[in-house]
Amino acid sequence: MTFHRPPDKEHIDNQMIKMEVNLDDMPGEWLGYVMDLLFAAGANDVYYTPIYMKKNRPGVLLQILCSVEAVADLKQILFRETTTLGVRYYPLSVHRLERRFELFQTPWGAVTVKYGLMNGKIVQRAPEYEDCRAIAEKHGISLKDVYASIWKSEKENE
């Protein structure tokens, strides 16, 4: 059996793939749309890198990280929505930390904080961006102040 969603325990995932496409004949406008489609179809991450291609062309390197199972669907999107005639890919391993999620109360409502644990010890703490953004917008506070408050409240609860 294959895990479509990786387990939350610390582990090494050897079923990951990186896909790549070089693009020099497609407007950037379309690429914003393609990124959304790729995430919706199961990509773990999608990102663009500026590259210098032949004949003085500023191009874009599209990269996708995904599980082996998602490759076929993502290829379909790449061929349908970009202008490429080829998609390249290769396997890689990912060492993932254990993940835990906890809710913290702030003066403006609850916020989820994501923890990363290495060998059972917390090494990462990150308030969820969308929670913080919602508070910032609703209460007219700067986003950086929302984060600062949560870091403090999170510390006090330890």
Binding to a copy of itself (CB under 8 A): which residues in 75-134? 75-76, 79-81, 83-97, 99, 114, 116, 118, 123-126, 129, 133
DSSP 82: S
Positions 136 through 155 that interact with a copy of itself (CB under 8 A): 136, 142-144, 147-148, 151-152, 155
| Assigned token pair, 124 | 């990462």
- Residue 4 makes contact with a copy of itself by CB under 8 A: no
- Binder among 3, 9, 30, 109 for a copy of itself (CB under 8 A): 30
* Tokens read off for 120: 């059972």
Characterize 139-158 residue by residue with b for buried, 16 or more Cβ atoms within 10 angstroms of its Cβ, and e for exposed: eebeeeebbebbeebbeeee
Residue (57 or 138) nearer to a copy of itself, CB: 57
Q: How far apart are CA 131 and CA 146, in angstroms?
A: 10
For a copy of itself, which residue of 31, 73, 108, 134 counts as binding (CB under 8 A)?
31
